[in-house]
Every structure is written in C-alpha cells, then in structure tokens.
Amino acid sequence: MNQIDLAGRCAVVTGSAQGIGRAIAARLLASGAQVWLWDIDAALVAETAKDLGDGAHPMRVDVADPDSVEDAAQAVMQQAGQIDILVNNAGISGANAPLWEYPTDEWRRVIEINLNGVFNCCKAVVPFMREVGYGRIVNMASVAGKEGNPNASAYSTSKAGVIALTKSLGKELADLDIAVNCITPAAARTSLFDQMTEEHVAYMLSKIPRERFVALDEIAGMVAWLVSAENSFTTAATFDLSGGRATY
C-alpha cells in the first residue's frame, strides 16, 4: 500500500457503513485522517465505526434530506473545527427495467439519493472549505454515467448528473486550493448487487475488458490520492476505474 499523508485532516465519507464507502473510510484512517462516517443505517454505521477503531466517528445522516445533511455538517464542525475532505459515496442502484416501464417513484428515489444527495452534501460543506481556502471533494459517479446501462436509466442518469455537477463545482472553486473530482468505477461486488438482476450483473461484467469487477481497495486507493494535498492542480476531472471499458 502506498503511503498517503492525511495526518491532521478531517474527512466525511457518505454511505460508509459498508461496501465502497467503508473501504474508503478505512484507507483514509490508515493515512492518518479522522473520518466521520455518514450513513442512513444508524446501527450498521455504529458497528462499522467500532470495527474501524480510533478516528472513526459514526453519524446517522440521510443525504437526500437537506436538513439532515446541514445538521450533520454543523455537528462535525463543532466536534472537529474543520472539514478538509468530503467523499460523496452514498448511492443506490435502483430497479432494473426499460424506461417506459420504470416506476416513477423509484426514478425519483434514485435521483434524490444519488444526485441530489451529492448536491446537498456539497452545499453544506463547501462554505466551510471556502472559509479556509482548502478542501478536497471526490464524488462517486459510475461508468454508467458515461455510457448509459440499459434497463438502468435512473442510475445512469443520476451518475451522469454527478459528473456534470463535479465539473461545474470544480470550476467554481478553481481559484482556491479546493479540488473537486469524480471517479467512474465499473461495478464492484457490494450489497448493491442485491438490488440488481443476475442478467444486469452479467451484462456489466461482459463490458469490462479486464474481465473482472473492480476491487474495493482499488477504488479506495484512487480516492486516497485525490483527497491528498498532493492533488493540488487537477480539479473538475473524471478519473476512470472501468477496467478499460470507457477510458475518456
């Protein structure tokens, strides 16, 4: 494991009770950061924080609720006095169905969590970063946001929106030492697979030239560098983690 120096940094990672978010939180902790774990599952995030040990602080947060996010951001500031790093990872895959059969309520739920959740968290945290002129934000997009997966229009649309949001916010903050980037991983084996059909999982795997799913540690490693002080020039960018599927 490459050593990334995050000593003295305070990070927020959403959707960090399990899966990709947990792996990212563990990597940031190993790099010396204090990490606030935001997740809607209060019991699971508390258990995860206990497993991760010193420096992990659990909070029950609903990223789709602006008031919940604002309250959590204020609480972190009261406890730590700073938020240097924000990783917007919380998300759901949503149903698999053709667009003309897609449930309207499910469409709205996916957009609320995957896209509006990123907006809510950035809106709450960015003012604190602007006050000190420093920050690192990484938004979790997806290769689906670049290419569009069939029978996953809501998910693909939400992730395309995350890419566009990243580009806009990165340019708005480019005059400060605040980097805003996103990553576009191929699928990783997490609990999100439980929300998908076997046919959809097989489709995603068939599209990856490396012929495997991305490992959680591979995602966490890329995020660790992107949130470090060494990433001092690149912003508003999209970093590919698709195993060769969509390298643009």
User: Does 203 participate in catalysis according to the annotation?
Assistant: no
Q: Rounded to an integer, what distance in angstroms lies between the CA atom of residue 6 and that of residue 88?
A: 18
Other C-beta atoms closer than 10 Å to the C-beta of 62 total 18
The beta strand positions in 75-227, using DSSP E, are: 85-88, 134-140, 177-185
End-to-end CA distance of the chain: 26
Q: Rounded to an integer, what distance in angstroms lies between the CA atom of residue 172 and that of residue 162?
A: 15
* Sheet with 10-14, side-by-side order of all strands: 56-60, 34-39, 10-14, 85-88, 134-140, 177-185, 238-241
DSSP letter at 230 equals T
Which position among 102, 155, 203, 248 bears the catalytic label?
155
Residue 93 structure tokens: 């895959």
Other C-beta atoms closer than 10 Å to the C-beta of 42 total 13
Sign of the C-alpha dihedral, residues 85, 24, 78, 125? positive
Residue listed under structure tokens 């809501």: 154
Whether residue 174 contacts residue 166, with contact meaning beta carbons closer than 8 Å, is answered with no
Residues serving a catalytic function are: 155
